[in-house]
Structures are given as structure tokens and as C-alpha cells.
Chains A and B, each alone.
Chain A
Amino acid sequence: MERLDDELSARRAATAGRHGSGHPLAILLDGDLRRPRLLVAFRPLLVVPHLCWLALWALLVTPAVVAAWVVALVSGRVPTGLHRFLAAFVRTAAHVSAFLHLVGRPYPGFLGREGSYPVDLTIAPPARQRRLGVLARLALVLPALLIESAYTLLALVVGVLAWCAALVTGRMPAGLRDLGAAALRYQAQTVGYALLLTSRYPDASPRLETPLPEARP
């Protein structure tokens, strides 16, 4: 039993931290793999308020991203306010997805504040983007969306397996957690790219590399 705990601790230490290959959108993981069974059992229903909230929020995101696209096309940069608004949306969606797929333990908030959730998404401030890349963003994102749909399917499988495992053991298997986190990271990077939060193309690698020296930027 002690050996198992040691292995788990070692595994946690190996993957907890910031993961993003230097990408402007990176995911932060905590090391807590315990999942209380009551919250596991009802997890798909507990996110219903978040899903409704995100659906309402998405109504505002659509005009915001159009405005960001027009401004970025003219000035080569997304205004800070719009960037912050879109980043909060993507971060909230990432928090909710992390909770739903059991990658994160606690119940997430609704406002997408950075540092408010142990499985967090760090998003770099707005940077200059090439106008041609902004103009063609919709076409450029299509291949990434194809891969993202595969990652979505993977996240679903991970979520179902993790749900069964955590319901029995009260813990999230570390391997499934890492796989779920990789899927989550790719999804967030793709949406971030589509919403003009970054000009950097999503990193398709499913590998979570060893943590960077700094846990939080």
C-alpha cells in the first residue's frame, strides 16, 4: 500500500505543473488525484448551470470575436479588453471541461479568473499578430478543428473510463488524468487560436512534458 502511494506521489510530481511547450496557452495541473464519489456520481449534471451560463456567454462571444477580428485586421493586435473577455470565456470553458472529465477535483467558478481553479489555463497577454494570419484564421483553423474533434472524442472516452474508475476507487487514475489534460489543452489552444487569443498554432502532441521550473507564470 505504501509502495503504491509512493508511486502515485512520484507520478503526481512528474506531471503536476505547467504544460504547454512554451505555447501562449498552457495548462496548469495540480497533484490532487482524489475525487469524492458523490461529486463523481453527479458530475455530468452538476455542470448543467455552467453549460447554460456558457451558452449565454457564447452569445456575446460571437460579436466580440468579430469585433476583435476587424480590429486585429486593421491594427495587427486584439484590444486588451476584448482579449481579456475572450480569454475569460475560454478559461471558464476549460475549467468546466476539466471538472466534467474529472481532470480537476473541485467545482469550478463561473467567471474564468486566472488562478481560481487548480487545473488552470494560463493565457499570455495580447501580442502582435500577422494580418494575413488574422484574415485567413477561419480557413487556417480547420485542420486544427479536425484534430480537436478527435481529442474531444478522446476526452469523452477518458471521462467515461475515469467516471467508472473514480466511482469505485474515489481516485482519478493518473494516466487518464494526464490524457484528459492533454486533450483539454489542445481544445483550449484550438479555441484560443480561433478566437484570436494567439497566433500560435495548437500543439497536437499528447505528451505532458516535465514541469517547467515555475509552477505559475
Chain B
Amino acid sequence: MSKRQAAASGAAEYLTIAFTYFTVGVTVSVTLVDRGVDTGLTVGAAFMVHSATSVLAYVAVSDAGGAMIAGLLSGWLVASRFGLLAATLGARLHVGVPERVLAGLNAFDPNVAMAVREDKPGRVRSVFWRTTAMMIGGWIVGVFLGLWVGNVLGDTSRFGLDVVFPAALLGIIGGALRRRDALAAAFSAAAITLILFPALPAGLPILLSVAGAAVGVAYSQRQQVPS
């Protein structure tokens, strides 16, 4: 690849990330506005929590009638991946404490993945912040546009917006699902929830689906044992 082609594909990657986070921002706002959440709280929740998956997980559990604590636990559990991503980034980022705090608070899937691909410490830092800027830029515009879209649409299930919600979540984990152990974890977790859902209090089946992660680990352990 020539230098020019490399630059072009790099720019395309940044734009794709910005557009993805724009769409995620729209989804989060529309989802909250659709549930009667006012403008201030929709924007506040989006920017304070700083994790679309956490907000959507909380909303999904409270929609099902789950207690607040069950919603919070689900929101925290799905964000645990950001802790792991921050750990991965932390090992490669050689900067002072204030910048480490800021970088940690902004650890998302694409910016960490793109940063740790780089070899030189200086490049890790610049690629991380550049990707972060693109993501957050797209996210901010998306959240505000979503406010407007949510208010204009009215009856959202007519537009299939109740499917936007699960489809967005599926899209978020789509990359991870290419691994066999992740697929095993995902299918077991889904099965656990669907079996327990009619019997247990709302929210509990989601929390118990964590057991699916153990199935995934068991699966990968079995693959490693030579037969």
C-alpha cells in the first residue's frame, strides 16, 4: 500500500468510527425520549454514564419491570469490559497520572483496539486520542440529533424502533462474537435468560446470565486440552 492509500484507509476508518458512535448516540437518545425521559436527563445520562451499553442495559431491565438495583447491576456488568480495555491500554500508555485518568475514563472498544495496534509509545498515545476525538464527536452530534428524532417520531414501534434497541446491542458485541468462546458464552447466556425469564423476578435472569461467561471459559479450556 502506498503512503497515500494508507492515509486514505486510515481516514476511512476514523470516519466509520465517528459514524458508528453517531448512530449509537441517536439510538440512546431516541430510546430514552421514547420512554418519556426529559431532554435534560437524556443528555445528562448519555454524557455522565459515558457508556451507551450501560444506559441501554439499565433501560432494558427497568422496561421488564426489574428493580433499580437489578438495572444498575446489569449496567455495571456490561461496562466491565471498559475496565479490561483500560487495563490493556494502561500497559501501553506511558504518560503522567492526569492523562492516564482521562484516558482511562475514555476507554472504549475502538479507540483502545486502534491504539494498541501501534508499536511506538508516541503513536499509541496519538492514535488513542485521535480515535477518541472522532468517537466523542460523533456521539455528541448523535445524542442531540436523537433528541429531535425521538420527539418527532411519536409512536416508535410503528417504525420498528423496538428492534433498533436489541439490534444496536447485537452490533456492539458483533466483533467479539467472532471468537468461538464468546459465541458459546453468548448463546448460553441467552438460553439461561429465556428459560428463567418467565419464572423469576424481572432483572434477575439477566444477572444470572453471567454464568454464560463460565460456559465460554469451559469451552475454551476444552479446546486447549490436547486429545
Instruction: Please determine whether chains A and B interact with each other in the same assembly.
Output: no
Residue ranges of B at the interface with A (Cβ–Cβ < 8 Å): none
Residue ranges of A at the interface with B (Cβ–Cβ < 8 Å): none
